Amino acid sequence: METLTHDIVIVGAGLAGLRAAVAAAEFSSKIDIAVISKVYPVRSHSVCAQGGTAAVLREGDSNDLHAWDTVKGSDFLADQDIVEFFVKQAPEEIVTLEHWGCPWSRTDDGKINQRPFGGHSFPRACFAADMTGFHEMHTLYGKATAYDNIKFYDEWFVTSLIVEDNVAKGLTVINLKTGDMHAFRTKAIIMATGGYARIYEFTTFSHTATGDGMTIAYRAGVPLKDMEFIQFHPTGLVPSGILITGGARGEGGYLINAKGERFMKRYAPEKMELAPRDIVSRAETTEIQEGLGLESPYGPYIALDLRHLGEEKINERLPLIRDVAIKLSGVDPVKEPIPIRPAAHYSMGGIHANIKTETPLSGFYAAGECSCLNVHGANRLGTNSTTDCLVFGTVAGEEAAKYALSNSFREIPREKILTEERRVFDEILGREGDERVSVIRDEMRRIMSEKMWVFRKGDELESALKELRNLKERFKNIRVEDKGRTFNTGLVAALQLDFTLDLAEVTIAGALPRTESRGAHSRPDYPKRDDENWLKHTLAYYTKEGPRLEYIPVTITKWPPAVRAY
């Protein structure tokens, strides 16, 4: 086993990881930075972001308005000091990307264009057609490769964090090409490993979104926060789940039930289709439950009608959406409505970190979707996530750089590495059990989809937890067919499944005691928001018996909780 040494190691090459790498490299040319990614960087999920990136750029809009929209959208669970910082930093990130070459869509007079988006009361989503993430990622990747002090480890897979005395000292990483495990010795680590929507089957997310970094941090003693809050996006394409951007509604698309009715008028009469995602997803689910969905061989769906926008606007603003709908559903949105229904989309929860992206573990930072800095509370507004990745990617890069410059390398205990090698190669790869990874994965997704979906009830959550714990037992008896080392995708799938099982458990364990409905956490058995008892964040700590929960208060600065109506 070889030990590699870098001042800062960033795990993840999505928007957050790349932005952090550039920020650290700009902070000091003396810092030696590694970026590890299990996929080639521009295959990170960020490249799929479609609709836009929120920032205040124009007269008529204001930081306070963006902050208020975010706080109200979060159902008052966001920490307001962090939201205020977030909205203040956002415009600078847009301009910075502009200077680095991001091809933002333009207005007729050449300014950066902005479109309306769900839950925002001003058109503030900067976009590059409907391929915003694609262009942001290529801009950042191009920028990052220009620095001599950033080294990329593409197709390397991190398996664990090495911690001693509450200090993060390094990581264990498999080079997927050779199958060898390496230790990375480092002063500071930034986790930027993205979300875990792949605990579900019907999701907008890439197959790589398995929350590895969250579980790795959790098992190393860092708490996960607010994991019960999972966002369901109202417009997942039927049957694949591929995203149809909220920008389609931002550009004026309608949601229609089987009676041809724009039903959102009964749920959010003012904002209609542009209400926040939790509200629209609940409305669609209710319509379907009441028999007002349209029928398809893949079950009932809702129609997203763009026909009135006309071919020219669809081609200019939503070219990807048209292409995707034609190729994957056989429907041309110029001529027919698109079949959609809610799909698992985003995790508001993640690794517990503060406004500086610091976690309770010294030298360990978290940014992007894997983190929970409390910007999004119980429900994230569309286009606020890419902004989050840019703003807090920058913060993480700078904070880690400061830390690395004022701390020295620590010795990595060899025993810890050997233990991890035994876990991965002997216990998981070497095991000759009779359970299949794909079978357990499908079971997990079934449980989550049936019992931990848009609506969740106490008795269902209890039975989901029981079933899931049973699956975790069964996992101990898995068998990976390919025993080789080179690009062993079977081993990667097993490791990812192992990570997601823990996350699914934490998600349900957090949802069960939260006897209220807030944002994306909707309990028909407790339909009201309960600020007296539940205006607080959930922290889940790893124990062998399952998560131990604690709660911490929400920071309120300017906006006391109020009725959330749209």
Ligand X SMILES: Cc1cc2nc3c(=O)[nH]c(=O)nc-3n(C[C@H](O)[C@H](O)[C@H](O)COP(=O)(O)OP(=O)(O)OC[C@H]3O[C@@H](n4cnc5c(N)ncnc54)[C@H](O)[C@@H]3O)c2cc1C
Using CB under 6 A, list all residues that contact ligand X: 11-17, 36-39, 41, 44-46, 48-53, 132-133, 157-158, 192-195, 204-205, 208-209, 212-213, 243, 346, 368-370, 383-386, 389
CA–CA dist 144, 150 (Å, integer): 7
Which active-site residues does the annotation give? 233, 249
Residues 6+ apart with CB under 8 A from 278: 75, 231, 232, 378, 379, 519, 520, 522
Cβ 563 to ligand X, closest distance in Å?
26
Question: Which strand (E) or helix (H) includes residue 543?
Answer: none
Give the residue with the Cβ less far from ligand X, 16 or 183.
Answer: 16
Give the residue with the Cβ less far from ligand X, 45 or 514.
Answer: 45
315, 333 contact by CB (below 8 A): no
Give the residue with the Cβ less far from ligand X, 46 or 507.
Answer: 46
Cβ 360 to ligand X, closest distance in Å?
20
How buried is residue 1: exposed, middle or buried, by Cβ count under 10 Å (0-12/13-18/19+)?
exposed
Cβ 260 to ligand X, closest distance in Å?
28
Which letter does DSSP use for residue 112 in this model?
B
Pairing state of beta strands 180-191 and 3-11?
parallel
Cβ 187 to ligand X, closest distance in Å?
19
Sheet holding 224-225, edge to edge: 371-372, 350-352, 224-225, 536-541, 548-553
What is the total residue count of the chain?
Answer: 566
Q: 194: left (phi > 0), else alpha (psi -120 to 50), else beta?
A: left
H helical segments located in 304-370: 311-317, 319-329
Question: Which strand (E) or helix (H) includes residue 258?
Answer: none
Cβ 521 to ligand X, closest distance in Å?
19
CA–CA dist 353, 363 (Å, integer): 12
Give the residue with the Cβ less far from ligand X, 39 or 168.
Answer: 39
* Of the candidates 143, 176, 5, 93, the residue with the CA atom closest to the CA atom of residue 393: 93
Pairing state of beta strands 156-164 and 548-553?
unpaired
Give the residue with the Cβ less far from ligand X, 97 or 464.
Answer: 97
CA 67 to each of CA 74, 108, 122, 561: distance values in angstroms, whole numbers, following the listed order = 10, 28, 12, 14
Give the residue with the Cβ less far from ligand X, 246 or 461.
Answer: 246
End-to-end CA distance of the chain: 57
Cβ 157 to ligand X, closest distance in Å?
5
Pairing state of beta strands 302-305 and 338-347?
antiparallel
Give the residue with the Cβ less far from ligand X, 284 or 369.
Answer: 369
114, 123 contact by CB (below 8 A): yes
Q: Residue 212: CA atoms inside 13 Å, Cβ hemisphere, count?
A: 26
Tell me the DSSP string of 113-156. Answer: PEE--TT-SS--EE-STT-HHHHHHHHHHHHHHT-TTEEEEETE
Give the residue with the Cβ less far from ligand X, 16 or 238.
Answer: 16
